[in-house]
Copies of this chain bind each other. A is one copy, B any other.
């Protein structure tokens, strides 16, 4: 998911080139208050600029309950694949978001949102993301490169997403030139069950694809492990030592997941 300010049709037109799964035209934090009207008016053109290239496009509206939400909802163009609704924090807010009538990606990025997500994420939402920048601003905390201050919240969002059966996307990395950080965070997120990671710069899209696709080494190891496991099972055993590690059905299950992910 690559974010582009909704009032920057020039950037929207170029966004598909980096190969994102979805381009998000942002009406919220990327657009100043006095530009919200103009950005809404420009949505059909921006949507067309993206979708003309074959890339699905979504719009991020302002939060439910904000002064802009209703106008944003009325301005949604036909042709969008989803609406991204930030700072969702209650069942009531999720209901309002779903009334927009298009697939909803929920932003979980407030303390209340994280604390209550398990209660409302099951209500029909299509996906969710964890927004670390807003979460820490709401918490009154400080963002640090080690991300310790969001570790618990990030894990809780991954759990809530799994319980709701919706894919979760990891927080943005604001240091857009720091590829190592992006890749490290993406690996952490994948380990926590996240399905992808937000991008706020075109250069991050390739990193996201790389990080959430099993590597050749992972695929190779999974294949060899499953071959050894299947052979053991055929011989009546479901445990074996494989390259120094005890393998049983659950380890085999995770290896199958790697192959299935690689085949997508």
| A residues lining the B interface (CB < 8 Å) | 5, 7-8, 28-32, 34-35, 111-112, 114-115, 118, 133-134, 136-144, 148-149, 151-153, 155-156, 158-159, 162-163, 172, 174-178, 187-188, 190-195, 200-201, 233, 236-239, 241, 244-251, 253-254, 257
Contacts and interface: CB of A to CB of B under 8 A. Distances in A.
11 contacts: A32-B238, A115-B159, A133-B251, A137-B253, A138-B162, A139-B158, A140-B162, A141-B194, A142-B254, A152-B155, A176-B245
A29 to B, nearest CB: 4
Contact of A163 (B28, B112, B136, B187): B112
B233 A114 contact: no
B151 A193 contact: no
B191 A143 contact: yes
A176 B245 CA distance: 6
A247 to B, nearest CB: 8
Given A35-B236, A111-B163, 4 more contacts: A139-B158, A141-B192, A142-B254, A175-B244
The list of the 10 closest CB pairs from A to B, nearest first, reads A152-B155, A149-B191, A139-B193, A29-B249, A141-B193, A142-B191, A29-B248, A32-B233, A32-B238, A174-B245
B151 A155 contact: yes
Contact of A192 (B149, B158, B172): B149
B176 A159 contact: no
A246 B142 contact: no
B176 A241 contact: yes
Contacts of A238: 5, 29-32, 35
Given A133-B250, A246-B200, A254-B136, A152 B156 contact: yes
Given A115-B118, A174-B245, A200-B246, A141 B153 contact: no
A9 to B, nearest CB: 13
Contact of A141 (B34, B156, B158): B158
Given A133-B251, A250-B137, A245 B115 contact: no
Given A140-B257, A250-B137, A244 B30 contact: no
